[in-house]
Amino acid sequence: MRTAFIQELMLQARVHPDLFLVVGDLGFSVVEPFAAEFPDRFLNVGVAEQNMTGVAAGLASEGYHVFTYSIANFPTLRCLEQIRNDICYHNLPVTVVAVGAGFAYGNLGYSHHAVQDLGIMRTLPNMTVLSPADPGEASECVQQLAAYPRPSYLRIGKAGETALHAQRGLDRGPLEIVAMPEAQRAVVATGSILAVALDGARSFTQQTGERVAVYSCPWLKPTTAAFFAPLWRHRRLVSIEEHIGCGGLGDLLRTHKPEGLSLHSLCAEEDRCTFVGSQQLLRNRHGLTAERVVSMLQVVPC
């Protein structure tokens, strides 16, 4: 996903001369093409994320749309005060890009896990929050952000994510329709965990013969109840996210869902967040698996 991000950023930089990239001494083997083509719109501030964010705010106040880029929690939690006070408070066009959503950097330990970021960033004023599921969605998010500069957060995977669906429509709302049969049950995911949602839906259909609708939700703020109207036609809804429950996709849906709709949320468990291991191992430990999706779809008959 990070390759799709930088490729799309370069395309947008050729169209938007105000687009600027600032990194915190990370992104090597990814950001070099941008730096080579746009040396006057690229800056490596070193391992100093608070300074990176302050510099970005300064550039934005002078007319640039600045993208900051670093791993997982470093461009978010480490410099949260600067994001809140320098960017959001002044409503400046800075896009904070975090690579390695969820447990993508799981082998590096809890310091590199991004499992509270969505909830935290959603609390900030003026902030747009985007969490794409695959390279296509990542490109589409960059297009949206380049077209409408504003305080924003883009949460992307690490590398190697495959294309999960071809239908696009972020300009029409927060939901991407991945599989839309006439179904009583549906699964909605945010981020690259969409792959697990798709596997679970396919397994459920193979086991029961009943089809399942699948949605991706890359747009997490701003939202309204009307944005999620397509979900409410289903009687049983399962959400899945590589994030703790507080402030994530499940919380967002519960805020808007009508009474009577059954919603079960699969998310990272807070008391297990300190485990270290590969992304797949940690997903398994937290029950973020296709098998759990199947079991949740089966809980309440429709």
Q: Is 116 in contact with 244 (CB distance < 8 Å)?
A: yes
Residues of the chain with pLDDT > 90, as a percent, come to: 81
How confident is the model at residue 302, as a pLDDT? 41
Q: State the pairing for strand pair 176-179/212-216.
A: antiparallel
> How far from each other are the two terminal CA atoms of the chain, in whole angstroms?
37
Per the structure block, which two tokens stand in for 301?
């008959």
Q: Is 153 in contact with 121 (CB distance < 8 Å)?
A: yes
Q: Is the pLDDT of residue 299 over 90?
A: no
Q: Is 237 in contact with 213 (CB distance < 8 Å)?
A: no
Alpha helices in 171-278 (DSSP H): 194-208, 249-256
Please name the helix (run of DSSP H) or strand (run of DSSP E) that holds residue 213, with its range, or none.
strand 212-216
Mean pLDDT lowest among 39-43, 120-124, 162-166, 242-246: 162-166
Q: Is the pLDDT of residue 160 over 90?
A: no
How confident is the model at residue 18, as a pLDDT? 98
Residue 204 CA from chain centroid, whole number: 26
**Confidence class for position 29, pLDDT limits 50, 70, 90:** confident
> Model confidence over 73-93: pLDDT tens digits?
899 999 999 999 999 999 999
Using a 10 angstrom Cβ sphere, with 0-12 exposed, 13-18 middle and 19 or more buried, the burial of residue 31 is buried
Which whole number is the average pLDDT over 178-191? Answer: 91
Read off φ and ψ for residue 208, nearest 5 degrees: -115, -20
Q: What angle do CA 137, 158, 87 make, to 5 degrees?
A: 70
Give the total residue count for the chain. Answer: 302
Domains and CATH numbers, the chain: 2-156 (3.40.50.970), 170-298 (3.40.50.920)
Which whole number is the average pLDDT over 181-207? Answer: 95
Q: How far apart are CA 53 and CA 49, in angstroms?
A: 6
Q: How far apart are CA 44 and CA 161, in angstroms?
A: 26
Q: Is 68 in contact with 20 (CB distance < 8 Å)?
A: no
Tracing tokens 């952000």 back to the chain, one arrives at: 145
How confident is the model at residue 168, as a pLDDT? 67
Query: Which residues touch 171 (CB under 8 Å, ≥6 apart)?
Result: 144
Q: Is the pLDDT of residue 288 over 70?
A: yes
Would you tell me how many other CB atoms lie within 10 Å of the CB of residue 182?
8
> Model confidence over 201-253: pLDDT tens digits?
999 999 999 999 999 999 999 998 888 999 999 989 999 999 999 999 999 99
Please name which of 209, 186, 195 lies closest in space to residue 290, comparing C-alpha atoms: 195
Q: How far apart are CA 209 and CA 293, in angstroms?
A: 16
Q: What share of the chain is helix, strand, coil (3-state, %, to 5)?
A: 40, 20, 35
Q: Is the peptide bond before 222 cis (omega within 30 degrees of 0)?
A: yes
**Confidence class for position 187, pLDDT limits 50, 70, 90:** very high
Whole-number mean pLDDT of the chain? 93
Per the structure block, which two tokens stand in for 27?
């992104």
Which whole number is the average pLDDT over 9-31? Answer: 94
Alpha helices in 94-164 (DSSP H): 117-122, 135-147
How confident is the model at residue 175, as a pLDDT? 85
